[in-house]
Amino acid sequence: MNKLFGTNGIRGIANDTLDPIFSLNIAMAYGTLKRGKIVIGRDTRISGEMIENSFISGLLSCGCEVIDVGIASTPAIQYYVKDNSSVSGGVIITASHNPPEYNGIKIIAEDGTEASRDEEEKIEESYFKENFKKVNWRDTGRYLKTDVSSQYIDSVKRFLGKNLGKIRESKFRIALDAASGSAFLTTPRFLESLNIGYVGLNCQPDGTFPGRNPEPTEENLKILQRIIESGDFDLGIAHDGDADRSVFFDEKGRFVEGDIILSIVARDILRERKGEKVVTTIATSSSLRDVVEEEDGTLIETPVGSVHVARTMMKEGAIFGGEGNGGLIFAEHQYCRDGLAALGKIMEIISKEDRSLCELADEVPRYFTIKEKIMVEKKEEAMERVKRRLSELKEPFNDRDGVKVSYDDKSWLLIRASGTEPMIRIYAEAKDEEKAKKLLNRGKSILKRE
| CATH code (residue 439) | 3.30.310.50
pLDDT higher than threshold 90 for residue 2: no
Q: How many domains does the chain have?
A: 4
Residue 443 lies in a domain: yes
Domain that holds residue 400: 368-448
Determine the pLDDT at residue 214. 97
**pLDDT above 70 as % of the chain:** 99
Q: Are residues 353 and 375 in the same domain?
A: no
Give the model confidence (pLDDT) of 377-407 as tens digits: 899 999 999 999 999 988 899 999 999 999 9
Give the model confidence (pLDDT) of 135-153 as tens digits: 999 999 999 999 999 999 9
Question: Which CATH number covers residue 234?
Answer: 3.40.120.10
By the 10 Å C-beta count (0-12 exposed, 13-18 middle, 19+ buried), 30 is classed as: buried
Choose among 41, 94, 92, 86: nearest CA to 65.
86
Task: For residues 53-77, give the mean pLDDT.
Answer: 99
pLDDT higher than threshold 90 for residue 422: no
Choose among 106, 53, 105: nearest CA to 78.
106
Residue 40 lies in a domain: yes
Cα 83 from Cα 226, distance rounded (Å): 40
pLDDT higher than threshold 70 for residue 450: no
* Helix, strand and coil in the chain, % to nearest 5: 40, 25, 35
Residue 154 lies in a domain: no
Cα 253 from Cα 6, distance rounded (Å): 35
Element at 330 (helix H, strand E)? strand 328-330
pLDDT higher than threshold 80 for residue 419: no
pLDDT higher than threshold 60 for residue 245: yes
Give the model confidence (pLDDT) of 155-173 as tens digits: 999 999 989 999 999 999 9
Determine the pLDDT at residue 418. 86
Structural domain ending residue among the three candidates 362, 384, 416 = 362
Q: Are residues 297 and 350 in the same domain?
A: yes
Determine the pLDDT at residue 66. 99
Would you give the DSSP letter of residue 163?
G
By the 10 Å C-beta count (0-12 exposed, 13-18 middle, 19+ buried), 384 is classed as: exposed
Task: For residues 340-368, give the mean pLDDT.
Answer: 97
Structural domain ending residue among the three candidates 255, 271, 306 = 255
- The catalytic residue among 23, 54, 88, 96 is 96
Q: Are residues 251 and 297 in the same domain?
A: no
pLDDT higher than threshold 70 for residue 369: yes
Active site annotation includes 150: no
Q: Are residues 356 and 315 in the same domain?
A: yes
Q: Are residues 356 and 413 in the same domain?
A: no
Choose among 86, 155, 160, 116: nearest CA to 315.
116
Q: Are residues 45 and 57 in the same domain?
A: yes
Helix 258-272 and helix 339-353: axis angle, to 10°?
Answer: 60
Residue 4 lies in a domain: no
Cα 306 from Cα 112, distance rounded (Å): 13
Mean pLDDT lowest among 28-37, 228-237, 317-326, 411-420: 411-420
Would you give the DSSP letter of residue 325?
T
Q: Are residues 86 and 139 in the same domain?
A: yes
Q: What is the DSSP string of 396-447?
A: --B-SSSEEEE-TTS-EEEEEE-SSSSEEEEEEEESSHHHHHHHHHHHHHHH
Q: What is the DSSP string of 75-126?
A: HHHHHHHHH-TT--EEEEE--TTS-TTEEEEEEE-TTSSBPPHHHHHHHHHH
Give the model confidence (pLDDT) of 76-103 as tens digits: 999 999 999 999 999 999 999 999 999 9
Distances (CA, A) of 289 to 292, 301, 304, 322: 5, 10, 16, 13
Task: Check: CB of residue 34 under 8 Å from CB of residue 64.
Answer: yes
Does residue 318 sit in helix, strand or coil?
A: coil
Residue 30 exposure: Cα atoms within 13 Å on the Cβ side: 34
Cα 151 from Cα 32, distance rounded (Å): 30
Residue 401 lies in a domain: yes
Residue 225 exposure: Cα atoms within 13 Å on the Cβ side: 12
Q: Are residues 376 and 346 in the same domain?
A: no
Q: Are residues 328 and 431 in the same domain?
A: no
Task: For residues 19-43, give the mean pLDDT.
Answer: 97
Residue 162 lies in a domain: no
- Report strand pairing: 173-177 vs 197-201: parallel
Determine the pLDDT at residue 35. 86
Exposure string for 241-252, b = 16+ CB within 10 A, e = fewer: bbbbbbbbbbbe
> Which carries the bigger pLDDT value, residue 242 or residue 377?
242
